[in-house]
Copies of this chain bind each other. A is one copy, B any other.
Amino acid sequence: MTEIQTLRARLQSLTKLGSALALMSWDEEVNLPERAHEYRGEVNAQLSSELHERITSDELTSLVNKLADPEVFNSLTDDEKVIVRETKRDIDQAKKLPTEFVERMARLTTKAFSAWVEARKKSDFKIYEPVLGEILKMKIEEARLLGYKDSPYDALLDEFEPDMTVQKIDAVFKPLAASLAELIGSVRGSVPSLPARQYPLDKQVILNQKIAAALGYDLHTGRIDISPHPFTISLHPTDVRITTRYDSNDFWGALGSTIHETGHALYEQGLPASEHGTPLGEAGSLGIHESQSRTWENFVGRSRPFTSFLYPQLAEHFGAQKFSEEELYLWLNRVQPNPIRVESDEVTYNLHIIIRYELEKDLIEGNLAVADLPAAWNAKVKLYLGLDIKNDAEGVLQDVHWSHGAFGYFPTYTLGNLYAAQLFATARKALPTMDEDFAKGKFKGLLGWQRENIHRHGRRYHADELIERVTGEKLSSEYLLEHLAAKVKLNY
C-alpha cells in the first residue's frame, strides 16, 4: 500500500467508530429510555475520547506529515491533496487543545448547562453570570491555544467555519444589519393568520414523508423520526436520518422543519460515498451546510410556486381549507419582530444572529464584561428590532449555545442565509424554468445543480472559495437583502 492508500484506509476505519457515535447521538434524541442517559453519557465519553486519541495518534500524524512534505505533496493528485491538506488541518487543530483542557471544558460546560437551565427558569442572569465568566475565560484561552492573526474571535470562528474572520463577516453583516433594521421599520402592525383548525398527526406524518420525498430525499437511505429539537444526522450517504416535531394545531411547525432538515439531508446523501471517511466525503462547512437547509426551507419552501404545489395537498390530507393559496403564501412569509430567535421570521432572524455575533465578539475581544451583557443585549434588541426586553428569560438567557461553550457558532446561521441567497441567484440563472417546475412539484433541476456545484466537492473548497467559484463573485450581502426586501414588501 502506498502512503496515501494507508491514509485513506486509516480514515475510513476511524470514521466507522464515528458512525457508531453518530448512531448513539441520534438514538439519544429519538429513542433513549428516560433513565438510560447516565450510562449513555459514559459510553459517549469513552468512545469520543478513543476517537480523539486515534485522530491525534503519532502514527496518523507522522503519516500525514510525511504526505504533507512539499516534495511528496506536489506529486499527489488534486483529490489526494485535498485529503492530506484537510486531514492535516484536523489533526493540527485537534492537537492544539491539550486533553486536560478539553476535559476541563467538558466539566465546566456540564456545570454551565445546569446553571443556565436554572437561571432561565428563574429568569435571573445573576445565577448564570459566574460560570459564564469562567467559560469566557476558557474560550479566550482556547483562542490563544489555537492561534490567530487579528482577533481572538477569529480562532473560534475558524473552528466552525474554516478561514472565516471578523473582517470578512463585518464586510457582509454590517450592511445587512443596517438595511434590515431600516426595512423592518416599515412592516405593518397586523400580521396575517390562518383560521384555527386541527391537523391530525398521522396525516401530517404522511404529508411530511411525501413532501420530503418530492424534494428528492431518498427514504431508502433515510428516515424521518420525531425529536424535541429537529436535526439531521448522517452515518454514511446511505444512512442519513432527519427528525421533526409535530403539533396538531399547526402543519407548518413540522413541515417547515422537515423541509429544512431535508436540505441538510440532501447534502449528506449527495456526498461521494466512495470518499466516505475522507475530507472529500465530508460537508464543506457548517455555513455551507446551513445554506442547503435554508435554500430548501426559505428559497423553495416559502416561495410562491411552492405554495401552489403545497396548497392542494393540504386539502387532500386535511380536508377543505378555509384560506386561499394567496393567504397561505402571505402567512408563510409574515414578518413580525419577536424577542425570541427561534420564533422569529426569516427577516428578523438575521438581526438576532447579528446581535449575538456583535456581543460574543465584544466578549471575546475583551470589550464587554459578562456583568454588562444583559444591558448590552437589551440595548441591541431595542436598536435592531425595536423591542423592549421584559426579562432575562426572553432576552440574554434564551439560547443554550454559550453554556455549551459554543462561541463563533451563531454567525454560521446567517452565513448560511447569505450563501443560500447568493447560490440560489446563480442557480436561478442556470435553471430558467425553476418556478414552473416548483409549482408542478419538480425539484430535480435545483437538486441536480446543487449536486454538481456543491455536494460532490466535499471539503475540496472552503466556503468563501466555493462561493466565489460557483457564483463568480465574493460573498456579498446584496442577494440576501434583495430576497428579504421582497419578503418585507409582502408585509407592508
Q: Identify 11 new A-B residue pairs, CB closer than 8 A, beyond the known A19-B39, A38-B238.
A: A16-B42, A16-B43, A19-B43, A20-B23, A27-B27, A31-B223, A36-B235, A39-B236, A39-B238, A40-B235, A43-B235
Copies in the complex: 2
A399 within 8 A of partner (CB): no
B46-A221 in contact (CB<8A): no
Contacts of A149 in B (CB 8 A): none
A47-B220 in contact (CB<8A): no
A107 within 8 A of partner (CB): no
A376 within 8 A of partner (CB): no
Looking at the assembled complex, report how far the CB atom of A43 sits from the nearest CB atom of chain B, in whole angstroms. 5
Segment 109-153 of A: residues with Cβ below 8 Å from B: none
Looking at the assembled complex, report how far the CB atom of A54 sits from the nearest CB atom of chain B, in whole angstroms. 11
Contacts of A47 in B (CB 8 A): 16-17, 20
Could you say which of B13, B35, B218 contacts A238, with CB atoms under 8 Å apart?
B35
A372 within 8 A of partner (CB): no
A34 within 8 A of partner (CB): yes
Segment 33-74 of A: residues with Cβ below 8 Å from B: 33-36, 38-40, 42-43, 46-47
A219 within 8 A of partner (CB): yes
A35-B221 in contact (CB<8A): yes
A40-B220 in contact (CB<8A): no
A219-B33 in contact (CB<8A): yes
Looking at the assembled complex, report how far the CB atom of A41 sits from the nearest CB atom of chain B, in whole angstroms. 11
A485 within 8 A of partner (CB): no
Contacts of A31 in B (CB 8 A): 223
A32 within 8 A of partner (CB): yes
A46-B16 in contact (CB<8A): yes
